Amino acid sequence: MTRAEVFEKLNEVFREVFDDEDIVVSDATTANDIEAWDSLMHITLVSEVEDAFDIHFEMKDVTKMKNVGEMADKILEMM
């Protein structure tokens, strides 16, 4: 899977979880950019991303990811 494909899939997950068809995520996207993305929705988001890519993040990685770009890097690394 290419990085672009990962982003495409991530975008889909974000749109489903936040029920917002207008979301477009980029490398720099953080929780500050999406209103409904609070620490509690983050739990659902991470779980749904794991499910979509059939991976499990390490706990230490989840706490380190700073933006969607880093999340995508981690996903590519694990696939």
Summarize as ranges the residues that interact with another protein (CB under 8 A).
16-19, 36, 40, 43-44, 47-48, 51, 56, 59, 62-63
Give the count of alpha carbons within 13 A of 12, CB side only: 10
Torsion of CA 78, 72, 65, 29, to 10 degrees: -170
Q: State the residue for tokens 């672009």.
A: 4
Shortest distance in whole angstroms from residue 67 CB to another protein: 19
Shortest distance in whole angstroms from residue 29 CB to another protein: 18
Shortest distance in whole angstroms from residue 41 CB to another protein: 8
